[in-house]
Amino acid sequence: MTEPVSRELGVALLGMGTVGTEVARILIDNADDLAARVGARLVIRGIAVRDTDKDRGVDPALLTGDAEALIDRDDVDIVVEVMGGIEPTRTHMLRALQAGKSVVTANKALLAEYTGELADAANRARADLYFEAAVAGAIPVIRPLQQSLAGDTVELVAGIVNGTTNFILSNMAEKGEAYETVLAEAGRLGYAEADPTADVEGYDAASKAAILASIAFHTRVKADDVYREGITAVSAADIEAAKAFDCTIKLLAICERFTDAAGEQRVSARVYPALVPLKHPLASVDGAYNAVFVEAENAGRLMFYGAGAGGAPTASAVMGDLVAAARNKVFSGRGPLDSVYANLPIAPIGDVLTRYYVAMEVSDRPGVLSAVANEFSARNVSISTVRQQADLPSSGARLVILTHKAPDAALSATVEALKNLDVVTAVSSVLRLEGTND
């Protein structure tokens, strides 16, 4: 028979939106089980919200509009932050950490900019900072990178880390509809916010890429270090062209360690829509699901897949961190420390080797292909595949070219040169091709 747990650990919950509501529910409904797992009873001391008069399904006495006073209470041991935003959230988290209270957060945007400051505060106070929920909802990614692969060398982390864009691109591929049509449907179904900019322009994924790259490569990477492109320019024609090459299109967050021509190790972090071969594991990740693909020197290839957003999945990740932080309090342990010892230089996008998909409208007459090929050759960019579609409404032709790997700067210069060719009416689409060894 299990002995009753008498010790208590106080939890302050900052925010009670979709995720916060689920966290509170789990803490209340599963109190006995959690106490048995932790070795102490987790008790909500208070919940900081903007509107304390709103019915939130909990004891109204728990609600407070004064987050700082809640954090400062002597009976609060762990602060769970699910309010979002940068300020005053950053100030609240620093206040908690400086007081020696562990912090659990799902705030990707804040972490992408201030992980160093927060980690330093945690280290000085010997407090824990956990953030599994900040990257891919319920999918365990942070902990495997920090702990399971701590003795290995991670070479690549590539993933679909935004459910909204994956829903849009998956439905464009399935239904053959235009981006604007599918975006509207995503809004109706609740997958896209009223202002979807953070998702469709890649800002959300860039924040997550910064966090993943920092952990995987022991190097401080911020959101501004991540090269970013969104999906707004992806067309139905691009989707169909990708199918012809046995590919699909996904918004990828790619974090890569590579050795440059001078023998120096560098880090690349980038987000953009890319062609992905259908045989690659990420190609089959559809709808609002997320997946993160990892390549490590000794472990080889690993993939983590599941629900990347939503109240219950994200709350599951928050609760995993909360239980870990609580156990550390009970047994006088510490969570993984911030590690940026490698301090590798961050490569600009121009230095990264990529493959390109270039679609253009051209004149339908002899010599066009030769003129186009000369522009690629002049910049040492090797062409892999050429497809031509004639009899377009404009009496021209559509030319689609896949390249072999080359420096991104050379490929970009080639595209700019193509735009100035008199035989090229327009360069209609430029995407990268990932997930191949060519």
The residues assigned a catalytic role are 208
Given the structure tokens 């390249």, which residue do they identify? 403
| Cα 398 from Cα 72, distance rounded (Å) | 65
Question: Residue 328 corresponds to which tokens in the numbers above?
Answer: 């550390």
Q: 24, 13 in Cβ contact below 8 A?
A: yes
Evaluated on CA atoms 60, 66, 69, 74, the torsion sign reads positive
Is 108 assigned a ligand-binding role in the annotation? Answer: yes
Residues facing residue 12 across a β-bridge? 46, 79
Is 115 assigned a ligand-binding role in the annotation? Answer: no
| Cα 315 from Cα 21, distance rounded (Å) | 9
| Cα 205 from Cα 255, distance rounded (Å) | 11
Is 423 assigned a ligand-binding role in the annotation? Answer: no
Is 20 assigned a ligand-binding role in the annotation? Answer: yes
Question: Residue 301 corresponds to which tokens in the numbers above?
Answer: 């290839």
Q: What's the alpha-carbon Rg for the chain, to the nearest Å?
A: 24
Q: 205, 269 in Cβ contact below 8 A?
A: no
Total length of the chain:
438
Q: Is 393 exposed, middle or buried, given 0-12, 13-18 or 19+ CB atoms closer than 10 A?
A: exposed
Is 18 assigned a ligand-binding role in the annotation? Answer: yes
The CA distances from residue 242 to 182, 235, 280, 373, in Å, are: 18, 11, 14, 21
Given the structure tokens 């067309």, which residue do they identify? 235
Question: Residue 429 corresponds to which tokens in the numbers above?
Answer: 């689409």
| Cα 354 from Cα 413, distance rounded (Å) | 13
| Cα 291 from Cα 278, distance rounded (Å) | 15
Is 23 assigned a ligand-binding role in the annotation? Answer: no
Is 174 assigned a ligand-binding role in the annotation? Answer: no
Is 229 assigned a ligand-binding role in the annotation? Answer: no
Helices 163-175 + 179-188 axis angle, to 10: 120
Given the structure tokens 């957003």, which residue do they identify? 309
∠ CA 301-266-381, rounded to 5°: 85
Backbone torsions φ then ψ of 217, nearest 5 degrees = -115, 10
Is 329 assigned a ligand-binding role in the annotation? Answer: no
Evaluated on CA atoms 36, 40, 45, 48, the torsion sign reads negative
Is 153 assigned a ligand-binding role in the annotation? Answer: no
Q: In 3D, which of 243, 268, 241 has the Cα closest to residue 257?
A: 268
Residues facing residue 258 across a β-bridge? 266
Binding site feature residues for NADPH: 108
Binding site feature residues for NADP(+): 14-21
Binding site feature residues: 14-21, 108, 193
